[in-house]
Chains A and B, each alone.
Chain A
Amino acid sequence: MNISAIAMFFVFVIITLGITWWAAKHTKTRSDFYAAGRSIGGLQNGLAIAGDFMSAATFLGVTALVYSTGMDGMLFVIGGTLGWAVVLLLVAERLRNLGQYTFSDVVAFRLERKPVRIMSATGSLAVAIPYLLAQMVGAGALIQSLFHLPYNLAVVLVGVLMTLYVTFGGMLATTWIQTIKAVLLLTGGTIISVGVMAMLNFDFGALVSAAIDVHPQGPAIMAPGLLFTDPITIISIGLAFVFGTAGLPHVLMRFFTVPDARQARRSVAYAIGFIGYFQSLIFIIGLGAVVYVSNNPEFLTAGGGLIGGSNMAAIHLSKVIGGDLFLGFISAVAFATILAVVSGLTLSAAAAVSHDIYANVICDGDSDRKTELRISRITTVVIGLTTMALAILLEGENVAVLALIALAIAASVNFPVMFLSMYWSRFTTRGALAGGYSGLATALVLVLLGPTVWVSLLGFEKPVYPYAYPTLFAMLANLICAYWFSVSDKSQRALAEAESFAAQWIQSEIGPVQEK
């Protein structure tokens, strides 16, 4: 039992509950609840965006990937950063200029509201819920090994806290919690990396050669191919990162918390700085763990594996660097990371239900503020309870597939539909529905028939679809259907939609302008 970890974690929980209590007093309107009253500045929003992206999956998962496969982890390190350049160059300013609270606002800007909203809300939920579940199951296991709490208790603790933050504090509390966590995580990552480099006299070459000496694969870790060898997989991973990032609903929602497109642009630029910096630390941390953890009997099981699995590489390394006190700090930061990310995801799922479905589909865009907010809070509680129950049922299951589904759907459903609606004048409602649903169906079917579900979960001998990642084909299915069903659409509605593109284009370039 690590007393300092528990103490630091309690301090974090007390501070965040205090923030939630403060935020609850300031959360009255829809814009407060979904978008923190548009009061967040560029720097803070950049930190919060970086925080959303730097989940436990990045910090612990990518470190583990570098730890076990060396250079192949670079594909994730680069992709994770590049996705943000796509957000900056293609999406951020237009999104802010066109939308209100969710990316569905942009897709539905000139297309037929109801069917398009239902499709894009489905896309949001299909990303947020599996991703949330993956984080919860991972969190349970992580907290179990960090704090020696029973798995079920850990899941309930995460679920209850996230529900409290979102229900009472809305986007304002979620943003502050994410900001604090981002600062803590960047600090922790920096200390670990500097610690590793200091032990090697700040010689990167020494780190590389020490890793080669220690790693069981030897020089092979400094060459590609330990994990990925076929081009389809590599392209699919690349696409999932580069375009999936711009399709994550909880990240896109953050662009509505700033006052204008200028601040939206600045927030991505800050986010790119923080994320790029953090990703470059990940590689050092991963190699550092090879050198200082993988051959240290204190961290190994009888079988020679890491205690707690390879996801614990970064955590064990923190003990080497700073003893029990620093181990406690990093454990508390990992816990805080999980809490902050699941809160953001829950909020985006709640907004998809209350803003996209309830307010715009059921109430036809004319909903009562109080009822809408009550519905989003009820949705939050329902999501909290459901994911807690499911996470308890899924204890010990391989949940990698859930995170895989989430990013694949973000890249093959949400991003193409949003991109085409922003840039292509002949994109029609029919094209959006055909593209969105075919991308969704292709992604789900290919994951089902792929090695992760068909072989590992269902026990068949050979996968029908040989690749783990569905992104390449699912994206293509979306784009081909979206194109074909748009250009062949000769209806009156399609004509009107093409005509209203000009006004949307102008607003996307310079924002809403007061009519004179």
Chain B
Amino acid sequence: MLSPTNKKIQTNKNFHKLVSLRRRVSWSFLLVLLGSYLTYGLLSVYFPSFLARPVFSDGIVPVGIAMGYAILALTFILTLIYIWIANRYFEPLERKIIAELER
């Protein structure tokens, strides 16, 4: 059984907004990151020669190293975006939900 406060939250429109926004953001970011790691892993098993190729034909840095650093950079960028979304959308929604409980 839900308490009266929890019932109020459960039917609150902003609560649903918050939940579905957070769900969409987290899972899509996660999918991108795990997908890129899986791609790297599969490439290193099945197409090692691709990862060993230089990125530029006149250079020496191989695709594998560049890809590794790119995934690190991507993780960092998605983290920043997540925090930005949290500050910009999650937190105001949370404050609204709490404020609407007072009424």
Identify the A interface with B (CB < 8 A).
Answer: 71-72, 74-75, 77-79, 81-82, 84-86, 88-90, 204-205, 208-209, 212, 219, 222-225, 228-231, 234-235, 238, 242, 262, 265-266, 268-269, 272-273, 276, 279-280, 283, 499, 502-503, 506, 509-510, 513-516
16 cross-chain CB contacts under 8 A: A71-B65, A78-B68, A78-B71, A82-B33, A82-B34, A89-B82, A90-B26, A208-B65, A209-B60, A223-B62, A238-B37, A273-B79, A276-B75, A506-B2, A509-B15, A513-B9
Residue of A with least CB distance to B71 = A78
Nearest A-chain residue to B78, judged by Cβ: A85
Contacts of A84 in B (CB 8 A): 75
The verdict on A208 contacting B91 (CB below 8 Å), with A71-B51, A238-B38, A272-B75 known, is no
Say whether A88 contacts B45, CB under 8 Å. Answer: no
Q: Which residues of B contact A90 (CB under 8 A)?
A: 26, 30
Give the residues in chain A near B30, CB-CB below 8 Å: 85-86, 89-90
Q: Are B83 and A89 in contact (CB under 8 A)?
A: no
Expressed in whole angstroms, the Cα–Cα distance for A225 and B44 within the complex equals 7
Interface residues, chain B, with chain A CB atoms under 8 Å away: 1-6, 9-10, 15, 18-19, 22, 26-27, 29-30, 33-34, 37-38, 40-45, 48-49, 51-52, 59-62, 64-65, 68-69, 71-72, 75-76, 78-80, 82-83, 86, 91, 94, 97-98, 101-102
- In the complex, are the beta carbons of B75 and A81 less than 8 A apart? yes
Q: Report Cα–Cα, A273/B91, bound state, in Å.
A: 22
Known: A74-B68, A503-B6. A509 touches B18 (CB 8 A): yes
Question: Which of A79, A262, A268, A506 touches B37 (beta carbons < 8 Å)?
Answer: A79
- Closest A residue to B56 by beta carbon equals A205
B18 near A510 (CB under 8 angstroms)? yes
Known pairs A89-B82, A234-B41, A242-B34. 6 more at Cβ < 8 A? A74-B68, A78-B68, A205-B60, A223-B52, A231-B45, A235-B41
Known: A269-B82, A283-B65. A510 touches B97 (CB 8 A): yes
Partner of B48, one of A88, A223, A238, A268: A223
Question: B73 CB to closest chain A CB, in angstroms?
Answer: 8
User: Which A residues touch B76, using CB under 8 A?
Assistant: 272-273, 276
Partner of B26, one of A89, A230, A499: A89
A205 to B59, CA, bound (A): 7
Q: Which residues of B contact A219 (CB under 8 A)?
A: 52
A348 to B83, CA, bound (A): 28
> Chain A residues near B37 (CB, 8 Å)?
78-79, 82, 238, 242
Task: Contact check, A272 vs B79: say whether CB atoms are below 8 A apart.
Answer: yes
Neighbouring A residues of B97 by C-beta, 8 Å = 510
Q: Are A88 and B79 in contact (CB under 8 A)?
A: yes
